[in-house]
Amino acid sequence: MKRIFLIFLCFGIFSCKGDRSPDNNSKKTSTDSLNTEDLIPDALTNSTPVVLNLQEANKLAELPLNCIDTEYPNKLGQTLENKEAMGEPHELHPAFYGCFDWHSSVHAHWSLVSLLKRFPDLEKKEAIRESLKRSLSSENIQAEIDYFKREESGSYERTYGWAWLLKLAEELKTWEDPLGEELSQNLQPLTDLIVNKYIEFLPKLNYPIRVGEHTNTAFGLAFAYDYAEATKNEKLMEVVKKRAQDFYLEDDDCPVSWEPSGYDFLSPCLSEIDIMRRVLPKNAFSLWVDDFMPQLKNEDFEMEVGEVSDRTDGKLVHLDGLNFSRAWVFYALANQYPETFGHLKSLANEHVSYSFPNVVGDSYEGGHWLGTFAIYALKESGNRPKA
């Protein structure tokens, strides 16, 4: 009976146009969101949070700043249509050739923009600005578009790289700086191409991909939804909402005890929760969680951190990323619905505290991407340095 009511409630809401009620539905996950600590009992916030301050931001900025021009080693992930299609990374991807692979280069650029927006007095702010301007020129972006338009590139970076491209576009579009406006305009043709790819692809995907790595459908939907919401792209938003509802609304009893798999950097269960908290109104989401993962509402809920045995192994170090991605879901839930999920902040803090000391100074296997995951998790936490 509850499932029937939930489906009815969702259909009724999705059939209506307009914004969601801020009391019930607004996401409160950005660093500019209201402080919800007063709504969470002290006993549930006893884990010391990691707070991103200027000193740490300077350290984290070094990772993407150093890697976006590091061409080798490189994993192209390319399907060759002929021998003429071969080329060096900087020739194939003049904007996003560094940081080992395309998607890592994209989110390295996001990291630099995000840090510069939050900490305008970064030590290497001028070097960062010059690097961004050099990478994201209109000429370089056109070359990226040309690559995506190759006959053999239809599924290139689907949907993980697509998601990070839209997250970069969102970050640039909301940067109140002349450089941000310039780079946003340069990136817009590629952004539009990726939006169209989402709109064309999602209706054809009959079944979601429920894994802990790049192809996870829920992760790709969540970042696409954020871009659509930030830019008021109603067409993309409705496609994402519909597919999320089609894929996940009737899911029950997510087997979270099976997690993590050996190479996970995303939680299949929590990634699904992360998109559904965005697209469902408060009451519907609460009912859905009761069926999907009811233990989340238990104030004694625990989840052990993912333990990394060898941080020089590019696959095993994924588990540090898992700790950060779990944390950003826990933080987002706690900030959006503190009365129900506020206790998850301490669990998020535990996950971040385990992996954060290993980000700076890590081997290239982790350093080229883990900084981004740390930055995003701390951004979702809403914790700011005290004056």
- Give the pLDDT confidence score for residue 174 in this predicted structure: 96
Task: List the CATH number of the domain containing 351.
Answer: 1.50.10
pLDDT profile of the chain (387 residues), mean per 10: 54 45 37 37 56 95 96 95 94 97 98 98 98 98 97 96 98 97 98 98 98 98 98 98 98 97 98 98 98 98 96 93 98 98 98 93 80 97 73
Q: Is residue 85 part of a domain?
A: yes
Q: Is residue 25 part of a domain?
A: no
Q: How far is CA 159 from CA 155, 168, 199, 249, in A?
A: 8, 14, 12, 21
Q: Is the peptide bond before 159 cis (omega within 30 degrees of 0)?
A: yes
Q: Is residue 338 part of a domain?
A: yes
CB-based contact 375:64 (threshold 8 Å): no
- Give the pLDDT confidence score for residue 22 in this predicted structure: 37
List Cβ neighbours of 32 (8 Å cut-off, separation of 6 or more): none
Q: How far apart are CA 166 and CA 172, in angstroms?
A: 10
What is the 8-class DSSP label of residue 79?
P
Query: What pLDDT, in 10s, does the model give residues 332-351?
Result: 999 999 999 999 999 999 99
Instruction: Name the domain count of the chain.
Output: 1
Q: Is residue 328 part of a domain?
A: yes
Nearest CA to 269 among 211, 352, 335?
211
- Give the pLDDT confidence score for residue 100 in this predicted structure: 96
Residue 281 amino acid letter: P
- Give the pLDDT confidence score for residue 47 in this predicted structure: 66
- Give the pLDDT confidence score for residue 36 in this predicted structure: 35
- Give the pLDDT confidence score for residue 82 in this predicted structure: 93
Predicted model pTM: 0.89
Q: Is residue 387 part of a domain?
A: no
- Give the pLDDT confidence score for residue 33 in this predicted structure: 36
Q: Is residue 126 part of a domain?
A: yes
- Give the pLDDT confidence score for residue 386 in this predicted structure: 54
